[in-house]
Amino acid sequence: MKLRGRILDVACLNRFTRVVTTISKLTKVCVLRLTPDNLFFVLSGKVANGGIGMWCELSQANVFDEYQMEGVSSEDNEICLEVTPENLSRALKTVQSAKAVKVKLTKKHCPCLTIAAELPTMSSTSRVVTHDVPVDIVPRRLWHEFKEPSMPDFHVSVYLPPLKTMKNVVDRMKNLSNFLVMEANLIGEMNLKIETDLVSVTTHFKDLGNPPWGDDASQDGGPSHSREPEAMVQARVDIRKLQQFLMGQQVNPSKAMCNIVHERVVHLILLHEDVSLQYFIPAVA
Amino acid sequence: MDCVVTGGNVKVLAKAIHSLSRIGDELYVEPQEDGLALRSVNSSRSAYACFLFAPLFFSRYTIPSGHTFRCKIAIKSVQAVFRSLATLEKTVEKCHIELDEQKNHLTFTLHCKHGLMKTHNLSFQDSESLQAVFDKDSYANVFRSHPRLLVDTVVHFPPSLEEVTVSVSDERMWVRNHVEEEADQSKAMLTELCLASDEFDHFAVQAHNSVTFCLKELRGLLVFAESTGLPISMYFDEPGSPIVLSVTDSVLEGNFVLATLSDDHNHRKNNTKRECTLPPPPPDDFMNDDIDAYLIAMDTSIAPGPSATCLSTPPVADSICSKQSAAANHRTRLHSEEEEEEEEEEYETADSGRPPNKKFCSLFFGSVLSPSSQMTTQPVTSQEVLASDSEDDVQ
């Protein structure tokens, strides 16, 4: 297994750092998959993670100027590592001013992702900083847990309102209840509702628009045609999980969508340039 | 005691107090002939800081005549006087510090604009003398740099990081985080920064050593130095002897003394990049806490203070004190800086003529200071290790 990459473009470094920082705010530990073309940050939707699933994909060419990767074997030409994204984020944040950043898979006291950079200084010699981020190699027999999740059979897909607005609403609702109901319909309306014994609060969003998935985007017939366009499809989720998702966003997405499977799962999709982030929040009773 | 600080110096005084608050909970105040000394030490005695403000720093400086006065005040109370630096700058014209020995009060009066006066009466406690033993001019390695260099270095480490290891060779300095052996090594992130000698204003290495110390307590000095723009000088010797960081200008001198891990604990694996080598680590059979390894030699003798203490007033640093102090007992000597224009005066708390005082001894310490070593800057050639007489358990 070998990995050597160099990031030379400041903008790419900046963007990569922000993606990693976003991931670090969503989860403490995740799996990093490296293939010849892509990088994936994956959280499998296991009970241990509270049922949360995450899939973040970016193309390696938009991060690295030089990239050499040799996977576990020629048939399984990929590297799968378990990493604490916060460490990676911290390391990357300190090297933002560097002319070049090297990323290597190394073996120090344990397998590590080493981030090394030369920082510019006032003097002739540059300052060299090295961060060794410990990682765990994920064995091949477990790779099936970290495959790209299939698009669920959603009932409604809707574009999200501005994330900042959503975050403000959810932050305040969190003070009143632990659970929030997200509902949306086929005419671009979305509601965020909380209900307690004493009070219920609903925030209505209109004219959001529905993404045109078409028949090929979803399996099994897609949105139910027999459903009334105004009928709301809903899922009740743990409000903290939604809040965590909204708090972590560092990159302003160019597209933000939400697919709801009635009373099953909320599937959030954010797209920005070549970076896509999918986040699955299971519904609770 | 009667001192007045005017204008911009009020803010400097405030900043010094805030940086001392990062060390310990109490501020030790001692008006001396060569200036006002403000000191602080942490509870484990592994970090000590002292700011000495020369008489010229003040527009009026009068000290109690006839007797030495020392006291300690809860540092939070003093910080409350100088709480908002921005406000101080804008509104405070002068600060008057007066001692009221009858009431055991130290009165801080802030004379502000528009005739406003804020008076704070802070009660103090008598205190022992607090001076750390260190002889930075004898240390093998000396560096000086603009504070920005150290601030930029420290930013690579998380605020929660406890310990860093600094290693030097002739041309380079490496700073890396120190990971305890007991901690889960495989999960710890390691960061290392390499600085070249030409980033420093002064870089003199005589011994390729590696010292490990607590970073947290240092941050107070960094904030002070950066805001005042004063260059920071760094002195260190072998592992076990403290690392000293100083800032000086014509009217003030600040010294931060941090204990370093002694050699026995330096198990850190050699980084192949470094040119210097550590001595082979001895087997780790010590059951001691790291805190002990961090102790700095301190003198905590009781001063013949103004208020009536039950003790007879013994000569300072007599062996009586050593029985009382729970912490380490050492004789101390504070060496002033030669480079500065300040008055040079050596404060000897013990003369060589006296019979040897109790020396601090610990099996866990590499060295014990014998009387003769304190008079010279030569390395100690022979040392005697005695069993500790004090009651505290050094474990």
Q: Which of B156, B185, B199 sits opposite A109 (nearest CB)?
A: B185
Interchain contact A129–B (C-beta under 8 A):
yes
Is residue A109 within 8 angstroms of chain B, CB to CB? Answer: yes
Q: Which residue has the higher pLDDT, B367 or B251?
A: B251
Category of B180 on φ-ψ map: left (φ > 0), alpha (ψ -120 to 50) or beta: beta
Å between A61 CA and nearest CA of chain B: 27
Angle, CA of A29, A32 and A33, to the nearest 5°: 155
- Per-residue pLDDT of A120-141, as tens digits, reads 887 777 889 999 999 999 998 9
Residue A128 sits at the chain B interface (C-beta within 8 Å): yes
How far, in Å, CA of B4 to CA of A45, rounded? 67
Nearest CA among B260, B337, B325, B244 for reference residue B293: B260
> Which tokens belong to A68?
């050499």
Which residue in the set A90, A124, A128 is minimally distant from B194, CB to CB?
Answer: A128
Task: Confirm or reject contact between A150 and chain B (CB < 8 A).
Answer: no
Cβ of A134 within 8 Å of Cβ of B188? The answer is yes
Beta bridge partners of residue A40, listed in sequence order:
A33, A57
Tens of pLDDT, residue by residue over B46-91, are 899 999 999 999 999 998 887 788 889 999 999 999 988 888 888 8
pLDDT for position B104? 84
Mark yes or no for CB contact A91/B191 under 8 Å. Answer: yes
* Cβ-Cβ contacts under 8 Å, B194 against chain A: 127-130
Of A115, A114, A109, A76, nearest to A92 by C-alpha is: A115
Tell me the shortest Cα–Cα distance from B196 to chain A, in angstroms: 6
CB contact under 8 A, B189 and A131: yes
pLDDT band at residue B315 under the 50/70/90 scheme: very low
Distance between alpha carbon B354 and the CA centroid of its chain, in Å? 27
The residue ranking higher by pLDDT, B384 or A209, is: A209
Mind telling me how many Å the CA of B163 is from chain A's nearest CA?
16
Q: Which residues on chain B are in Cβ contact (under 8 Å) with A130?
A: 190-194
Instruction: Report the largest interatomic distance among the alpha carbons of chain B, rounded to a whole angstrom.
Output: 68
User: Tens digits of per-residue pLDDT, B227-238?
Assistant: 889 999 999 888
* pLDDT at residue A149, rounded to an integer: 84
Token pair of B394 as six digits: 């050094």
- The Cα B156–Cα A204 span in angstroms is 44
Note whether B190 contacts A: Cβ–Cβ < 8 A. yes
Dist. CA B257–CA B138, nearest whole Å: 14
pLDDT single digits (tens) A227-285: 688 888 999 999 999 999 998 887 778 899 999 998 989 999 999 888 999 999 999 87
Six-digit token string for A256: 């933000």
Token output for A17: 């750092």
Across the interface, whether the CB atoms of A125 and B156 are under 8 A apart is answered no
Q: What's the one-letter identity of residue B161?
A: L
DSSP state of A248: T
Instruction: Return the exposure string of A71-92: e unless at least 16 CB atoms fall within 10 Å of the residue's CB, then b.
Output: bbeeeeebbbbbbbbbbbbbbb
B187 contact A CB<8A: yes
Strand order of the β-sheet with A200-205 is A200-205, A190-195, A179-184, A233-238
Lowest mean pLDDT among A179-188, B11-20, B279-288: B279-288
Q: Are B51 and B254 spatial neighbours (Cβ–Cβ below 8 Å)?
A: yes
Tell which of A83, A102, A132, A137 to mutate to test the B interface (max B CBs under 10 Å). Answer: A132
Beta bridge partners of B119: B109
pLDDT of residue B252: 92
Cα(B304)–Cα(B6) distance, integer angstroms: 32
- Which SS3 state, helix, strand or coil, does residue B239 take? coil
The DSSP call for residue B273 is T
Residue with tokens 């002068």: B94
CB B199 to CB A132 under 8 A?
no
Of the candidates A84, A94, A121, the beta carbon closest to that of B199 is on A121
Which distant-in-sequence residues (6+ apart) come within 8 Å of B86 by Cβ? none
Furthest C-alpha separation in chain A: 72
Q: Which two tokens stand for residue B280?
A: 């082979």
CB contacts < 8 A, A to B, total 60
A129 contacts B193? CB cut-off 8 A: yes
Residue A133 φ then ψ, to 5°: -95, 115
Give B260's DSSP letter.
B
Structural Rg of chain B based on CA atoms? 21
Average pLDDT over residues B380-386: 43
Residue with the bigger pLDDT between B383 and B220: it is B220
CA distances from B174 to A18, A129, A184, B214, B275 (A): 28, 9, 57, 16, 10
Is the pLDDT score of A221 beyond 80?
no
Mutate to test the interface with B, among A84, A87, A106, A124 (most CBs of B within 10 A): A87
Nearest CB to A125 within list B186, B190, B196:
B196
Please judge whether B189 and A121 are an interchain contact, meaning their C-beta atoms are less than 8 angstroms apart. Answer: no
Q: Do A134 and B186 touch (CB under 8 A)?
A: yes
Q: Which chain B residue shows the shortest CA-CA distance from A135? A: B187
CB–CB contact B198 A109 (8 Å): no
Please tell me the distance in Å from B13's CA to the nearest CA on chain A.
31
* Test the A interface: residue of B191, B192, B274, B275 with most A CBs within 10 Å: B191
Looking at beta carbons, which residues of chain A come within 8 Å of B196? 121, 123-127
Q: Is residue B174 classed as helix, strand or coil in its secondary structure?
A: strand
The alpha-carbon gap from A250 to the nearest alpha carbon of chain B, in Å, equals 20
3-state SS, residue B217: helix
According to DSSP, residue B114 is labeled G
Within 8 A of B151 by CB-CB distance, chain A residues are: none
CB A113 within 8 A of CB A130: no
pLDDT tens by residue, B261-314: 876 544 443 333 333 333 333 333 333 333 334 455 555 443 333 333 333 333
Query: Which residue in A109, A123, A131 is closest to B191 by CB distance?
Result: A131
Looking at per-residue pLDDT, the higher value among B378 and A99 belongs to A99
Of B158, B189, B196, Cβ closest to residue A123: B196
Does the CB of B277 have a partner CB in chain A at under 8 Å?
Answer: no
Is B201 near chain A, with CB under 8 Å?
Answer: no
Q: How many residues are given for chain A?
A: 285
User: B137 CA to chain A: closest CA distance, Å?
Assistant: 27
The partner residues of B314 in beta bridges, in order of sequence, read none
